Chains A and B, each alone.
Chain A
Amino acid sequence: MERNSKPAGAEDASRNLPTKPENENEGNQLHSEDRDEVEAQAAAQWSLAAKMQQVKNYLWNPEKREFLGRSGQSWSLILVFYLIFYAFLAGMFALCMYTMLLTISPYIPTYRDRVNPPGVMIRPYTYSFAFNFNASERSTWISYVDSLHHFLQAYNDSIQDEKNVNCTPGQYFIQEGAEDKEKKACQFKRSFLGNCSGLDDLTFGYSTGQPCVLLKMNRIVGFHPGNGEPVKVNCHVQKGNKSDLKSMDFYPETGTFDLSYYPYYGKLTHVNYTSPLVAVHFTEVKKNRAVGVECQLKGRNIQNNITNDRFVGRVLFTLNIGG
């Protein structure tokens, strides 16, 4: 390499020119450094461009007519292979599922251990189990009322009379016979709910600040609640002053789920089954404050104290009645 003529190198060289030969190297060094830098930049650009080109080529290689590194023929071969392979797998899976379903009765679920003990739900359906309304403002409670009317449609006396049979209360309505034989359902008439039936008071007491809440025990196929003794409903203030909830009425008056509605035989055979209800009429609730209410089921094979599940054997909701 020749001596660099760049100012820095030259200056440096001239300063020490007479004696030290290694200054030549200094010059060379600067030179080579500059060059390296340029080269490095060029290389970086080049490699980026090359990478882009590589990607492009990979996507579509016009020379070999390849898409994603495979030619048309190769693609069709591989697609045919996967088609056959997956068709085979799908067939095998379908066969497995079919076999599995064959082993399972459509009338009675194989296991009922997870759905037992039964949960409890309330109607009307509310978001987050809070009844916030003002008795004097219709708009605040009309949705509850509509919900209840809708829900109780199936319990209309006419429908019940037409579809279901009248059963002897106080004993399980056990129906013998083949699994697939259609089972009869017992009548649960709307009128059983008295003041909460929505027949006399179309507003279910909401317009007077004495709301009705319907309790429904979750259905479980073949479950005999209470073991011969009807399950009873009991409501109280969950936390706080007991006097917040002075009085309430239950409909049917016993406040129980009658044994005759059980056992449940499943959707397929117990077609017209309507879940029995217990209506709670909160006739005197402290107004203008949130009153936490817990309604519990009490019965022999009923649990109402499972920590993780607040809906097994009990239901919690708040009543916040204004006005």
Chain B
Amino acid sequence: MGKKKSEVYSVEVNGIKDIETTNEGDGKEKYRGLKDHLGHKKDHQKELKKELDLDDHKLNAKELEDKYGTNIIRGLTSTKAAEILARDGPNALSPPKETSEIIKFLKQMVGGFSILLWAGAVLCWIAFGIQFAKDKSASMDNVYLGFVLALVVIFTGIFAYYQEAKSTNIIASFSKMIPRQALVIRDGEKKEIPAGQLVVGDIVEIKGGDQIPADIRILASHGCKVDNSSLTGESEAQSRSCDFTHENPLETKNIGFYSTTCLEGTATGMVINTGDRTIIGRIASLASGVGNEKTPIAIEIEHFVHIVAGVAVSIGVIFFIIAVSMKYPVLESIIFLIGIIVANVPEGLLAAVTVSLSLTAKRMAKKNCLVKNLEAVETLGSTSIICSDKTGTLTQNRMTVAHLWFDNQIYQADTSEDQEAQIFDQSSATWASLSKIVTLCNRAEFRPGQETVPIMKKIVVGDASETALLKFSEVIMGDIMETRKRNRKVAEIPFNSTNKFQLSIHETDDPNDKRFLLVMKGAPERILEKCSTIMINGQEQPLNESSAEAFQTAYMELGGLGERVLGFCHLYLPEDEFPDTYPFDVETMNFPTSDLCFVGLLSLIDPPRSTVPDAVTKCRSAGIKVIMVTGDHPITAKAIAKSVGIISANSETVEDIAKRLNVPVEQVNKRDAKAAVVNGMELKEMSQEQLDEVLINHTEIVFARTSPQQKLIIVEGCQRQDAVVAVTGDGVNDSPALKKADIGIAMGIAGSDAAKNAADMVLLDDNFASIVTGVEEGRLIFDNLKKTIAFTLTKNIAELCPFLIFIIAGIPLPIGTITILFIDLGTDIIPSIALAYEKAESDIMNRKPRHKKKDRLVNQQLALYSYLHIGILQSLGAFLAYFTVYTEQGFRPTRLIFLRSEWEDGNINDLEDSYGQEWTRYQRKYLEWIGYTSFFVAIMVQQIADLIIRKTRRNSIFQQGLFRNKVIWIGIASQIIIALILSYGFGSITAMNFTTLRVQYWFVAIPYAIVIWLYDEFRKLLIRRYPGSWWDKNMYY
């Protein structure tokens, strides 16, 4: 039993060759990739080279003892262990290097617009310094403004940092591991110690169910099987023994790897590597070495910040020059410059974007997509290629009976997650026999105490295939354990690699039938060899040519589906030869093992999740290419790809075409094939250009037998096509690719910690379908951010124009810097966030993913429409309010022109207005504040209209529904309430520059608000009416 070989269960029709070759050659290649790739990264190469130094698998026990100064029987001494522990450090993966919190914080302080605002603040202080040097009684206004600007930067920085930290914390708490224990022999005694305390040379014992605590050299093994899937991606269990079977340390059977699981059996091993020096540790560090790509949204925001900062600085500088040439003192010109910068920078926007992203992140978390990095929220939306791992993501990651063959017919079994609907014909007597064999010839058992657990969720002791068979029969026939009890087992030959079959002999549950029943299962061709008859419709018939052929056809067909096929046969031992008391001896095999009766075939597969095909279709209609990248065999991979629709039903690979046309593969035009299945071996031979060609020419691609490095190469290949690449994966072997991808998606349940660490997003339910939700949310947030930005940018013009006209026409300042900050950080904040709640205008899952370089977040149309259309309209409305206030107080517009220098002169306290009245400086100042307030209110009123028009970019507001997004109304209410509080609540606090306002001034800008709305409806109408027209091209943002 200990020598059970895993290959037995694998596809043996035409898969066998593949396995052999890959096992021989691929093993080395797979890991050589580690070196070839990323060759320029010195550290990694060095580390990876060490991997090849590993020769412990070649040494015998004595040599090992010498090398590690240990004793196989007594283990290390505690003192020695402590020594080594001190030298090597604990046996744990060092966590990925985190940017220190202070650096993160400082980054927030200088990122985005912060630099501009800091510059503004410093200019303020410099201006004050100069003023103060000239005149000791200089007004402190500039100092305050400087502080306010600095505070704005610091607060938005803290806010962004807090948001970021909050979303990081979710994942931190999530990925916390429970410390594991290891059974170690030290000082000749068995001890349980935390796995972290293990050192090189320790002798450890492992048993089924344990995670291997470090890289170990197996010294003794009893039927030990390990699951290396987290390392290689293969779900096949592999046996472990103390024999040196392969040059390559990764292929040899006598080494167990850190963090892989021991499925069954027991083993004793010597620790040869701990912590980061383990194979897993090295791959993990390879992942941390792969540079993190900037997320698309980060690039977009940077692009946008550059645009706005560029506009701010250039307008600032232009007007600085104009001001200086208009003979304004330099100092005043600097103050103008500050005003222009403040007016141009949407201070609150980045905070609003962060909030919008985190709102979406929250929404996605509810739908089982946990986002580690806020910006990754949008990345999924722009994803154009998904490289999906097969096992666990597309499939259920458990063997399941997929097909049955008996009575010369193939039946399909239900492979859905709950398997409730097994609809194949169960009336045949052959099925009765087959089911009996399946039930009896099976060593797997349910772990006791799970009566209430649904069958599919019960924990089973046994290997994957037997588990599948056990659950399959339990679903169909009910209490299997009871059936087994009634058919007492009298003898058993467990599976082994020489026999390639498993046999057991049972009493029957029919009290009248005293015969014994011999049941056998195994590799189909071996089973068939042992049979002379075949059961058809419950009748034994001689096995002739035609039935043998039928068997072959069925076997080939099922094998061709990438399924693992098992044959079943039985024999009722004649009562006279084998009486009740007959002593069965499994050693001498004193019972017949030939001339049996062949009953049927069962084929097993790790079936796709039921939600996946639908999700793949959705991805496809959303213009996303789904590529399967797996470590599994090409045939299995292709079969799964077909069944989930990654390779659609009617598309062919080059090989398929060749087969159909009956010509050699080389003669087929590669472009004719829509689909491609690329083997890791082929991939290794490919040049970059060839890989690009594959990626461009084929829409449906499956990469099989790939190594971690090849995954990385594939991801890079996709990225060379300007694609935004999402990678899903769960194993440690996936982590470099996860890191390299634009968005790495790790599996929350099956995923290893290394994968989760490397990923940007974790699928809590391991379900590929959740990705589709993510894509949808991502696209929506991109659209909505566009709206948010358009909304926010608009009023910048209304904030900027006053300054420009103030400088050029010399009118009293229409709106103060502090007031502008109250718009940017006060009234506009909640509405801009509210746009994140806006529903999609059309089916966003039916359009192509945006082009990374062409479909910008902030494009020319958006900027022009916001700045030069709505922005100008807003400015006009606000100026109307401003002029109304001044005129009604006595300063007609004509009087205001070029009044500035007198207006601001503190020594002129009898400035005449249009009516001949005389004003003191403070009276004028107060009037100026009324002007500020009215200008502010006018902008606020028009921003309400702006908010409403920004709900849609193409549809009419009425199509979208005014009340579907309730948060918008909260936003509008907040605008009005904040403005009311500022005007009436703080009216007497002069530092805020707000005054109480006559009621009618709140309504001055309303006509303009209506014009804004009408104009935008008109714009949208023309866009809808004349798609592709000049108007559409220039006005649709």
Contact = CB atoms under 8 A, between A and B. Distances in A.
A310 B923 CA distance: 11
B161 interface: no
Nearest to B880: A96
A104 B915 CA distance: 12
Interface string A176-217: 000000000000000000000000000000000000000010
Given A112-B890, A119-B923, A311-B920, 10 more contacts: A78-B1034, A100-B880, A109-B913, A114-B889, A114-B919, A115-B919, A119-B918, A119-B919, A119-B920, A309-B920
A218 B918 contact: yes
A161 interface: no
Interface stretch (A121-129, A230-238, A244-252, A283-291): A121-129
A216 B910 CA distance: 9
A101 B916 contact: no
Interface in B402-439: none
Interface string B843-887: 000000000000000000000000011001100100110011001
Nearest to B930: A114
B888 A109 contact: yes
B916 A270 contact: yes
B888 A128 contact: no
B888 A115 contact: no
Interface stretch (B39-47, B188-196, B299-307, B556-564): B39-47
A135 B42 CA distance: 89
Contacts of A96: 876, 880, 1007
B883 A128 contact: no
Contacts of A315: 909
B52 interface: yes
A96 to B, nearest CB: 5
A85 B876 CA distance: 13
A36 B887 CA distance: 70
A109 B915 contact: yes
Contacts of B887: 100-101, 104, 110
29 contacts: A22-B53, A28-B39, A29-B39, A29-B42, A89-B872, A92-B1011, A96-B880, A97-B893, A100-B887, A101-B893, A104-B892, A108-B915, A110-B888, A110-B889, A114-B927, A114-B930, A115-B917, A115-B918, A129-B907, A218-B920, A219-B917, A220-B917, A221-B917, A264-B916, A264-B917, A267-B912, A267-B916, A311-B921, A312-B922
Nearest to A36: B40
B40 A32 contact: yes
Contacts of B883: 97, 100
A25 interface: yes
Given A92-B1011, A119-B923, A312-B920, A111 B889 contact: yes
Which residue of A114, A221, A312 has the most chain B CB atoms within 10 A of its CB atom?
A: A114
A220 B923 CA distance: 12
A96 B1005 CA distance: 10
Given A100-B887, A121-B909, A267-B915, A115 B49 contact: no
A115 B891 CA distance: 11
Contacts, number: 137
Contact of B907 (A28, A112, A115, A128): A128
B926 interface: yes
Given A108-B915, A115-B889, A89 B907 contact: no
Shortest beta-carbon contacts, A-B, top 8: A267-B916, A119-B920, A218-B918, A309-B922, A110-B888, A109-B890, A311-B920, A311-B909
Contacts of A81: 1034
Contacts of A310: 922
A311 B917 contact: no
B68 to A, nearest CB: 21
Contacts of B1030: 77
Nearest to B881: A100
Contacts of B915: 107-109, 221, 266-268
A102 B909 CA distance: 30
Interface in A259-298: 264, 266-268, 270, 273
A100 B934 CA distance: 15
B990 interface: yes
B795 interface: no
Contacts of A127: 907
B35 interface: yes
A82 B868 CA distance: 9
Contacts of A129: 907
Interface of A: 22, 25, 28-29, 32-33, 36, 77-78, 81-82, 85-86, 89, 92-93, 96-97, 100-101, 104, 107-112, 114-115, 118-121, 125, 127-129, 216, 218-221, 264, 266-268, 270, 273, 306, 308-312, 315
Given A108-B915, A264-B916, A267-B914, A101 B907 contact: no
A100 B907 contact: no
Contacts of B872: 86, 89
A123 to B, nearest CB: 10
Contacts of A108: 915
Interface string B90-132: 0000000000000000000000000000000000000000000
Nearest to B49: A22
Given A25-B35, A111-B888, A114-B926, A308 B916 contact: no
Contacts of A101: 887, 892-893
A98 to B, nearest CB: 11
Contacts of B868: 82
B918 A112 contact: no
A86 B52 CA distance: 74
Contacts of B913: 109, 115
A266 B873 CA distance: 35
Contacts of A221: 890, 915-917
A109 to B, nearest CB: 4
A215 B916 CA distance: 18
Contacts of A121: 909-910, 918
A21 to B, nearest CB: 8
A273 B889 CA distance: 21
Nearest to B876: A93
Contacts of B39: 28-29, 32
B45 A112 contact: no
Contact of A114 (B35, B892, B912, B923): B923
B922 A308 contact: yes
Contacts of A89: 872-873, 876
Contacts of A32: 39-40
Contacts of A309: 920-923
Contacts of B922: 306, 308-312
A179 to B, nearest CB: 12
Contacts of A107: 915
A311 B918 CA distance: 12
A104 B888 contact: yes
Interface in B912-946: 912-923, 926-927, 930
B916 A266 contact: yes
Nearest to A30: B42
A310 to B, nearest CB: 8
Contacts of A218: 909-910, 917-920
A86 B1030 CA distance: 19
A120 B919 CA distance: 9
Nearest to B920: A119
A101 B921 CA distance: 25
A100 B910 contact: no
A310 B925 CA distance: 13
Contacts of B917: 109, 112, 115, 218-221, 264, 266
B927 A219 contact: no
Contacts of B930: 114
A22 B927 CA distance: 82
A7 B702 CA distance: 45
Nearest to A93: B876
A35 to B, nearest CB: 8
Given A22-B49, A311-B922, A97 B910 contact: no
Which residue of B873, B920, B998, B1030 has the most chain A CB atoms within 10 A of its CB atom?
A: B920
B880 A97 contact: yes
